[in-house]
Structure 1
Amino acid sequence: MGCCLHASQKSKNPIISKDVQQDATGEKIKPSRKIKQSMPDPRLSSDGKEPTDAKFAIVQDKSKSKTDISFINAALTKHFIFNSLSEEQRESVINHMKYYILEPREVVFEQNSVGSTFFVVANGKLEVIIDEKRVNVLRPQDSFGELALIHDTPRSATIRTIENSSLWGVDRKTFRNTLEQINALNYAENRGLIESIPVFKILNNSQIESLIASISTNMYSPGQVIVNEGETGDLLFIIKQGSVICSQGDKDLKTLEKGDYFGEQALLYNSVRTATITAGENTKCLTIGRAELTKLFGTSLQLIIHKNSQRIAFDKNHYLKKLTKTQFEKLLGCSEIKEYSEGGKCISQGQRKSENIIVLIKGELQRADGEIVYRVFDIAGLDEVIQATDEVFEEDYYAKGDVNLAVITNSGFFNAIGGDYLKVTSNNEAIKLLKKIPIFRYLNEEQFESLIQVLRVENFKSNEIIFSQNQPGESLFLIKSGRVEVIDKETNRVLRNITKDDYFGERSLLFDKFRSATVQAKGEVSCWVLYKSDFLSILDENLKKLLLKRIELQDDNLNFGDLHIVNQIGTGTFGNVFLVIHKQKKSLYALKAVNKKKIRAYEMEDSLLLERKILLQIDHMLISKLIKTFKDDKRVYFLLEYIRGMNLFDVLRKLDVLTVADAKFYTACIFLILEHLHERDIIYRDLHPMNIMIDDEGYPKLIDFGAAKIIRGRTYTIVGIPPHYMAPEIITGHGYTLSADYWSAGIMLYEFLYAAVPFGEEENDPYMVYEMIQQGKLIFPPNADNKDKIKDLLMQLLSKNPAARLGGTLENLKGHPWFIGINWDKIVRRELPTPYVPTLPSIIHDAESALKNHRPLDEIISKAEKHDEIPKPRPAKEGFNTNWDEEFKG
């Protein structure tokens, strides 16, 4: 069944906390493709509710002595959650801990209750009770409830005092906020230090983010030598705290302090240290290594700087702005870097300007008299190459300071862009416009080239009728210049104006339809025109069928009252999902209905608005599509693409261990899905087999966007994903980025190949799973080989350094040797054979019955909601928008 269901619907495994599990007994059975427990839905968080932990305790904000701090610190070292914290972070958490005083036989929390507090026993004794049996006794410096710091989860035991006892405790909200504040401050400070260094100023935001994620921090005591003169170095040091002394031989040269740096040449060259650097006091340095950067970016920092500099120069040039991304990259790839020292002759008198395109990416060029002629990012020779002139340079030009030039030969330029500049860029303009039209989104480059060959330029005089209402449609018009009016001739009303870089008439290419309006030129108009016969000549039947289906999904001219319920196909904590049929079109959809009482009770308004906003941005062959939203007095509704198929989790159980080819196919599909989301700054955060449907043709479709979020930079919330698929940086609360999704993809790839997850396969206890993820010991089955470097790929995706997972860029990842043979374009166009095509029962009878025996939607949905438990709504906060659901209006 195809629908969007939430994590809270999935099967739950019993949870036994780490401190209780040591005394519990029971035979472990190795599961086969077991369902991994999902995180509670973020909208069910207990943060902000009345406290359920230690309700009757006296709680004090007690100051802590050195002995107290040392005592608590010793308890914290037993847990990976705290071991991953810096000394500063741990101190801050301890400072926020409160003191709980309890009398004998007082309950701290009960089994199966949901709490949010972690405790350290300061004095007294407490008993651990599971199913009314004592299984353990806790004494001073023991701790319990640590999983509550990560997320809501039912307590696995009752904890009760035996005698007068006191506890140190910190709740999840305080813990996470404390870490977020420190990490955000630390991140901002580190970013500021990085961006202040000239060698990094040319990096883009993504590269800066990767750099920050790869920083190491080192402490040096007074008098400790950091680097020695004459050594070969590959580390850059940035002083974050303290100071250092630079010396040569026995002579001190200068002192460097916070914000200063040394060793920058080590990142570019295998250079020798020219001075000895010694810590003058307790000093903290950020360090970045050349080898690490090469691994991170997939190439050397020097090459990245050269490429980035060329990109900036190209972006500034009005000629090169008209090139496509592919042409742009080919041009970068054919340039040769030339380096000159002060005074070196860079351009000779008499040299033909059209011989080379010269891009100044570092330094300045001057005449013999010292006058500056070219500055950084200037380009010489481009006009002359394009216009094929015979002009020459009339003087010699010399380097002022160190100069780097990127030189592109005349022939190299035309080979890179694909021919004559004017013709190529005119075609680029038309292709760019074609790619804006949904029906062309799935064409390949070859098909676009074929389209360009059949496009015709037609010109229209002012007030000329381009086509008339009710006339048979046979062509698409792309406006090259000018403006047209779309007129309803029956009412003589102007419906809209269409101008340059827009289009009209696209539906006539696939459908035998009459024009719904008249289009008239207002002033002189020039259009590219694509005729239906020409368009259909480049399509095969499979692609035509695909385009027709996508156009059908993009038609949101639907009324809520025209939908008839066929049957219920999903039940969730927040909503119910129904298969519906449109009474005129006979098209099937999935309708998710969310009760407004539940929305208010769980304060889900912002979450649903975000989910709607995200779904409206997405239009991809491998992602469930939102057609439209509706609302009424009782509910809000999501009308979604109906995916008729099976869950990937069930498919994996049928296939067991996948073949390499099948694993490659599913993984490539996942990468294409993530590419589409991440290009829109959407992090999914819930990637695992339960959230992927395999449709009736065997292709995967991503569903359920309840945990997705739009981010630019870092986020700190823990939501959604089952523990086995969660990236280490999410668990520890240090902040995470889009790359967390690639960790989950790596877990799935491992699971595809070896029928098990790499961390905690036999564990149901989330704490134990998290601990194993933090340890990061990636172990392969004995029979696993490294053909096509598959182990290397898995180690890259499952790197604890988030920045290293892409290997520089997604293109680098897609270009990994393991993916040789994968045709990425054919996946999007659904032209590849699939590993498994589900055998599905017919729904024709049910659909026909729904049309004949129509019952009101509200009646059926209300019946489905009859047994729903709806908590008492929380009081609305001041400023609450009672019209929050206005955007859902159909």
Structure 2
Amino acid sequence: MGCSCIKPDLGKGSGYIVPENLFQDPNKRDFSKISTRFPYPGSTGPKQRHKKPIIDLRRLMYANSEASSATVNDREKGKEDVRLILEVINKHSILQNLDEDSKIALVKNMKFYEIGPREMIFEQGQPGFCFYVLFSGRVELRVDNERKAILKAGSGFGELALLDDRPRSATVRTIERCSLWGVDRQTFKEAVKKVTALNYEENKTFIESVPLFQTFTNAQKDALLSSLVTQKFSNCERIVKEGDTGDLFYIIKDGIVSCSENDREMRQMVKGDYFGELALLYDSKRTATITAIGEVKLVSIGRKSLIEVLGNNLEQILNRNSQRIAVEKSEVLKILSTDQKEAIFNTMRVSIYKAGELVISRGTPKGRNLWIITKGRLRGPVGDIETFSCIGDAELLEDPRENYSVDFVSENESIIAHITKEEIEKCIEGTLNEIQAMNEIIGILKSVQLLKGLSQERFKLLIAALREIHYSNGQVIVEQNSSGDSFFIVKSGKVSVQKDGANIRNITKHDYFGERSVLFNDFKRSATVVANGEVDCWIVEKKDFLNIIDDGIRAQLLKRIELQDDIISFDDILPIKIVGKGAFGTVYLTAHKKATIFYALKSVLKSKVFKYDIYHNILLERNIMLQLDHNMIVKLVKTFKDESRFYFLMEYVHGQDLFDVLADLGSLKENDAKFYAGCFVLMFQYLHERDIIYRDLKPENVMIDEEGYPKLIDFGAAKVIHGRSFTTLGTPHYMAPEVILGSGYSVQADLWSLGILIYEFLFGRVPFGEDFNDPHEIYEKVLEYRLTWPIDLDPAASSKNFVQQLLNKNPAMRMGGVTTNLKEHKWFVGLSWERLITKQHKAPYIPKLRSLTSDLSNAKKNPRSLREFILNEEQCEDFPRNLEFPTDWDVDF
């Protein structure tokens, strides 16, 4: 699977041991490992498994040398030209999957080629650049210099070059003088990106203008956008008929329609107008006939599609969204956690009131109930109360011992959600005053790096162990060099931190100190802390803290503290050995010279950054990794630079990559597959909440650590995403259809990759293109979408349902594209998410690893300078020394 793409990082070199040959040219790799995994249930023997290289079109060179003897012009296309090109496009399996607007963009951007007889169009083995439609003449197709076919007018060839720059599989020469329509990959991709992005933004504007959708969350709107279907109607063509039952909602994108009742035109609607919204809520009859005036383009969505994307009860979803908006506007309720709010919403009763109907009668006690207006408007004591408003929320914190003095009456048809104070307290497991205080403390505790990984339940136990102490102005809270066994959070006031009698900094409200004292034995305070005015502190004692966490969690916290040591310098690093080589540099196993802490150091040559113009990619990888702190994601500690290299100092994952683990285990038992799948759901939840798309999930990019837990590595393909991305990037067997087509995608593409991986866990093979190595053949299999299952698999199996939802060609149908929906799937019933995130769940496989003690001992016996070690190990090609880099682009390294 060779490709001429360039990766911004070292691929597998992200802090772990890998075979050196993995970094070689993919066409020259030693695929000597034979997997014991059977290709499918019922197979009779082992199948060779190859590690799969990435396809990355972010930095391709577009020096097109094809059809070099042709004259090329922008000749205007007639109707017959357009018809011919579209006919050819629809014969090709990959191109026919494009939407209609993208096909039109492809046609529009094709240029006219005229070329003489016996001329080369493209040559076998050379990178592909263009797709051609033969307009006149004949060409021959030759493979290994042997004629395989003669193509005549109306034939298309070279379409796979529109996806990537893979070498041509055949030579194409003219037999006689020919004319062709052609388009290169860069032009095509830019055109598709432009039309797709324009459609997306335009449709988004339309959706946001429809009152029915105004309560939708951003994720729900995005899911809705992914499910819209474009339709075209000719002049006088009827779109909907009065009296018919309909389930489609329409928005006019272009053109004009006539709206008539009883054959009488009532009005005309134009771009941006919409009709049929009641069809999404009810099986209602059409109240008018809608007819196209001239050519009309509409986008539509059906009730069935919307229910598949959002859930079974659309009215309930709309009401729930309105409740969320109202609660976020409430100063009393917005501080509740997401789980607490959802518990309240699940308990609320929803009622519909007609215009003039009494909702709350005078004499009703205050502070006993909460009402939320999800639709309509109420007439209250001091004017109207609008939709998305709460009534009674402020009084829930008090005990007013008063009654409402006026009636609250519905002004129009209104929908009101109601819950009692007692029910709220049952939902949140305490009084609002208590929970507000607890949630405030949890928010503060979560800002403490030491505690970020604790679950909600453990935070509650920790809060129960907190005690509050008041300190007067000038009072010493802790003394330098004294033994410490307490952790402090400043609740109010300010304290001064003094070292050797000098004031070094101040700590104010919600800041903390002494966090290491609860973990380290014989800890000596490094500074004196003095109250600067009146101060209140929350304190947790070491014994209480250690009662809350077990040894496993304590070990994790200690490791995270070690990895947060960003004061380490380049000279503090002891080189041990080389563990991998890549296209841009090398990965080394290293250790801290004084502490027994292992690191992976990745070096990247500046000259190659310059040569391949990957400034943005290397900065993006650095910036993404620095913000990640998750116990199943590799941790970047610090970066360095010198005159010739950049360095990434990372957590060293002592383990075995998932590819080799699967080769050892074969197909996984369902519970084992569920364990790994649950871990990936947690990883993606963490990444997607930060708008990070990973884009290259596959077994080769996952390490199984010493505890048997997966660790996500290699963030060279990751991106912070706002809106959509259009780059064809990833590994073909795991790439979502929308990524292959370059038609615009978001984080839902990661969920497709997860579906592929889980299928592979369960059945020992990938579902599409298992027997193919050529990317284009794999793309065709993915886009054909023939998803098959073992004959003996229970059709009702929850694992099948889970994978099937992830492998939906419509991204919006992948659990709505939201990881929280994945966690609630029935397949995960019984899986403790808290035990999983805190690594208390027993892993199905523990790698057998060699100790690193002897390596460290040998390195310490013969210590070498890290720079000298690197220079000795790296025998790289020469690059110009006086490189003109962009000004200050690497200032943060």
What range describes the TM-score normalised by the shorter chain of this pair?
A: over 0.9
Which of 391, 411, 420 is 1:409 aligned to?
420
The separation in 2 between residues aligned to 1:58 and 1:849, in whole angstroms, is: 67
Contact 1:36 1:722 in 2 (8 A): no
- Asked whether 1:884 is paired with 2:893, we answer no
DSSP-derived class of the 1:795 partner = helix
Give the alignment of 1:854-865 within 5 angstroms.
Answer: 854-865=863-874
DSSP-derived class of the 2:725 partner = coil
Deviation larger for 115-124 or 817-826: 115-124
Q: CA deviation at 1:127?
A: 4.1
Q: CA deviation at 1:325?
A: 2.1
DSSP-derived class of the 1:884 partner = coil
Pair 1:74–1:226, CA change in 2 (3 A):
closer
Pair 1:589–1:599, CA change in 2 (3 A):
same
1:252 alignment counterpart: 265
The separation in 1 between residues aligned to 2:345 and 2:57, in whole angstroms, is: 45
Pair 1:604–1:757, CA change in 2 (3 A):
same
- Asked whether 1:814 is paired with 2:814, we answer no
Give the alignment of 1:726-741 within 5 angstroms.
Answer: 726-741=735-750
DSSP-derived class of the 1:281 partner = strand
DSSP-derived class of the 1:832 partner = coil
| Amino acid aligned to 1:610 | L
The separation in 2 between residues aligned to 1:626 and 1:817, in whole angstroms, is: 35
2:3 alignment counterpart: none
1:587 alignment counterpart: 597
2:648 alignment counterpart: 638
Contact 1:430 1:528 in 2 (8 A): no
Contact 1:30 1:762 in 2 (8 A): no
Deviation larger for 239-248 or 130-139: 130-139
- Asked whether 1:504 is paired with 2:518, we answer no
2:581 alignment counterpart: 571
The separation in 2 between residues aligned to 1:583 and 1:600, in whole angstroms, is: 33
2:250 alignment counterpart: 237
- Asked whether 1:674 is paired with 2:679, we answer no
2:535 alignment counterpart: 525
Give the alignment of 1:251-330 within 5 angstroms.
Answer: 251-330=264-343
Q: CA deviation at 1:388?
A: 2.3
- Asked whether 1:659 is paired with 2:669, we answer yes
Pair 1:134–1:401, CA change in 2 (3 A):
same
Pair 1:100–1:280, CA change in 2 (3 A):
closer
Pair 1:735–1:873, CA change in 2 (3 A):
farther
- Asked whether 1:419 is paired with 2:430, we answer yes
Contact 1:106 1:160 in 2 (8 A): yes
Contact 1:2 1:644 in 2 (8 A): no
CA deviation digits over 1:526-574, x for unaligned, max 9? 1111111211122222222222112111222211112122111111112
Give the alignment of 1:376-391 within 5 angstroms.
Answer: 376-391=387-402
2:35 alignment counterpart: none
The separation in 1 between residues aligned to 2:79 and 2:890, in whole angstroms, is: 53
DSSP-derived class of the 1:80 partner = coil
DSSP-derived class of the 1:496 partner = strand
CA deviation digits over 1:420-462, x for unaligned, max 9? 2222221221122112222222333332222112101111122
The separation in 1 between residues aligned to 2:143 and 2:648, in whole angstroms, is: 42
Which of 110, 113, 126 is 2:126 aligned to?
113
The separation in 1 between residues aligned to 2:512 and 2:350, in whole angstroms, is: 42
- Asked whether 1:96 is paired with 2:113, we answer no
Q: CA deviation at 1:367?
A: 5.6
The separation in 2 between residues aligned to 1:419 and 1:318, in whole angstroms, is: 18
The separation in 2 between residues aligned to 1:436 and 1:310, in whole angstroms, is: 28
The separation in 1 between residues aligned to 2:364 and 2:561, in whole angstroms, is: 56
RMSD, aligned α-carbons: 2.6
Pair 1:439–1:315, CA change in 2 (3 A):
same
Aligned residue pairs, count = 864
Pair 1:758–1:615, CA change in 2 (3 A):
same
Q: CA deviation at 1:663?
A: 0.9
Contact 2:360 2:409 in 1 (8 A): yes
Q: CA deviation at 1:597?
A: 0.6
Pair 1:725–1:622, CA change in 2 (3 A):
same
The separation in 2 between residues aligned to 1:199 and 1:266, in whole angstroms, is: 12
The separation in 2 between residues aligned to 1:95 and 1:554, in whole angstroms, is: 54
CA deviation digits over 1:215-261, x for unaligned, max 9? 11222333433333333332212222233333333433322222221
CA deviation digits over 1:732-772, x for unaligned, max 9? 22200110000000011111111111111112232222122
2:32 alignment counterpart: none
- Asked whether 1:70 is paired with 2:83, we answer yes
Query: TM-score, normalised on structure 2?
Result: 0.92
Which of 841, 851, 855 is 2:860 aligned to?
851
2:635 alignment counterpart: 625
Q: CA deviation at 1:67?
A: 3.6
2:53 alignment counterpart: 38
- Asked whether 1:458 is paired with 2:472, we answer no
DSSP-derived class of the 2:633 partner = coil
- Asked whether 1:780 is paired with 2:768, we answer no
1:23 alignment counterpart: none
DSSP-derived class of the 2:716 partner = coil
DSSP-derived class of the 1:782 partner = coil
1:21 alignment counterpart: none
The separation in 2 between residues aligned to 1:124 and 1:220, in whole angstroms, is: 37
2:446 alignment counterpart: 435
- Asked whether 1:802 is paired with 2:811, we answer yes
Contact 1:8 1:39 in 2 (8 A): no
1:760 alignment counterpart: 769
Which of 617, 628, 635 is 1:607 aligned to?
617
The separation in 1 between residues aligned to 2:496 and 2:93, in whole angstroms, is: 66
| Amino acid aligned to 2:305 | E
CA deviation digits over 1:696-743, x for unaligned, max 9? 221111111111100111111112x11111111112222001100000
2:526 alignment counterpart: 516
Contact 1:611 1:705 in 2 (8 A): yes
Q: CA deviation at 1:62?
A: 3.3
Pair 1:682–1:145, CA change in 2 (3 A):
same
Contact 1:40 1:153 in 2 (8 A): no
Contact 1:601 1:874 in 2 (8 A): no
Contact 2:110 2:182 in 1 (8 A): yes
Q: CA deviation at 1:331?
A: 1.7
The separation in 1 between residues aligned to 2:871 and 2:747, in whole angstroms, is: 39
Give the alignment of 1:482-561 within 5 angstroms.
Answer: 482-490=493-501, 492=502, 494-511=503-520, 512-561=522-571
Deviation larger for 618-627 or 511-520: 511-520
Give the alignment of 1:347-358 within 5 angstroms.
Answer: 347-358=360-371
The separation in 2 between residues aligned to 1:748 and 1:874, in whole angstroms, is: 46
DSSP-derived class of the 1:89 partner = helix
Contact 1:2 1:693 in 2 (8 A): no
1:219 alignment counterpart: 232
The separation in 2 between residues aligned to 1:574 and 1:129, in whole angstroms, is: 37
Q: CA deviation at 1:856?
A: 2.7
The separation in 1 between residues aligned to 2:671 and 2:692, in whole angstroms, is: 29
Pair 1:330–1:767, CA change in 2 (3 A):
same
| Amino acid aligned to 2:247 | D
Contact 1:384 1:391 in 2 (8 A): no
DSSP-derived class of the 2:643 partner = coil
Deviation larger for 388-397 or 130-139: 130-139
DSSP-derived class of the 2:890 partner = helix
| Amino acid aligned to 1:314 | V
Q: CA deviation at 1:874?
A: 13
Structure 1: gaps (5+ residues): 16-28
The separation in 2 between residues aligned to 1:694 and 1:11, in whole angstroms, is: 25
Query: TM-score, normalised on structure 1?
Result: 0.92
Deviation larger for 421-430 or 436-445: 436-445
Which of 9, 15, 19 is 2:23 aligned to?
9
DSSP-derived class of the 2:758 partner = helix
1:702 alignment counterpart: 712
